[in-house]
């Protein structure tokens, strides 16, 4: 596989310009009882803080706090419960790593607002493609924060019934994302990160096609986030459980880095950091192009 040249980007984080000058590792902090891999693992303040501290120690550049499981088939979570979970997660990260960049995984505009204005988060990660809350785009514009736009269809409960793509998955997802990014820019949102949405309204084969063609998404002109950690695109192919999927995850992280990914959203920070180091060395040695 030929390496894609890494393209640096800058993000405005609370009035401070921060450059993505190497791939970032985003550690996942699920404060939920039902996430597909680590649901219930971080059920109290001590466990949450210990996990955040571990990810910071292992080299996470960002920690992504989620209070609503968005795995396919997941049920609804009341807004007040999501807020309680998110607040617990953000506070834990603040205690464990005061200087950490914090992203909040939510599709609700008012959760996003409170996370930024009251809790001190920096980035909003919306897996709904901006479709589940009509106020989200306006809220992001008003907050003036980086926004992760994830391609998806439907809701977590219905998305896996919406996997038909008339013109092929890569062309369709790329076109739909380009339209949304144009809308966001016209609305005054400047800092956008694109996530093709691996596992969200995609078949296993769709996910691999998207990753194989990830370099096409650089035409969007924004940083690219890849979230494949321990997902079913690995477990179904390797015939393993999510708990057994670290090797497959690391293989796909290496592929994403070779395709120029800017952010890896991961459960296992140390393994992703190690993958980044060796892929960077391989690229700089020009071994890939010989």
Just list the catalytic residues: 231, 265
Q: Which two tokens stand for residue 237?
A: 């192919």
Instruction: Quote the CA–CA distance of 216 and 259 in Å, as a whole number.
Output: 9
Tell which residue, 171, 232, 169, has the closest CA to residue 199. 232
Encoded tokens for 92: 């834990």
With H, G, I as helix, E, B as strand and everything else as coil, classify residue 77.
Answer: coil
* Strand spans (E) along 1-56: 9-13, 16-20, 24-30
Report CA-CA distances (Å) from 164 to 6, 236, 267. 32, 20, 29
Q: Coil, strand or helix: which one is 243? A: helix
């Amino acid at each position: 596989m030929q390496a894609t040249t890494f393209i640096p980007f800058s993000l405005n984080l609370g009035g401070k310009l921060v450059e993505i000058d190497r791939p970032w590792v985003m550690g996942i902090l699920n404060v939920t009882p039902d996430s597909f891999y680590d649901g219930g693992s971080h059920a109290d303040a001590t466990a949450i803080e210990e996990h955040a501290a571990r990810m910071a120690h292992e080299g996470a550049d960002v920690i992504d706090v989620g209070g609503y499981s968005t795995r396919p088939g997941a049920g609804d979570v009341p807004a007040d419960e999501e807020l309680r979970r998110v607040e617990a997660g953000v506070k834990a990260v603040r205690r464990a790593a005061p200087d950490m960049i914090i992203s909040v995984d939510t599709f609700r505009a008012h959760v996003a607002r409170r996370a930024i204005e009251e809790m001190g988060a920096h980035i909003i990660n919306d897996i709904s493609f901006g479709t589940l809350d009509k106020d989200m785009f306006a809220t992001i514009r008003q907050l003036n924060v980086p926004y992760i736009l994830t391609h998806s269809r439907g809701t977590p409960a219905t998305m896996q019934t919406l996997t038909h793509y008339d013109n092929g998955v890569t062309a369709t997802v790329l076109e739909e994302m380009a339209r949304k990014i144009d809308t966001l820019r016209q609305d005054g949102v400047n800092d956008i990160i694109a996530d093709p949405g691996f596992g969200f309204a995609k078949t296993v084969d769709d996910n691999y096609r998207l990753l194989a063609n990830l370099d096409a998404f650089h035409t969007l002109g924004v940083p690219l986030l890849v979230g494949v950690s321990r997902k079913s695109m690995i477990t179904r192919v390797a015939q393993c459980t999510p708990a057994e999927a670290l090797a497959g995850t690391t293989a796909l992280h290496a592929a994403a880095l070779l395709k120029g990914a800017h952010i890896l959203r991961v459960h296992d920070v140390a393994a992703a950091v190690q993958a980044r180091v060796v892929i960077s060395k391989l690229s700089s040695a020009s071994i890939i192009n010989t």
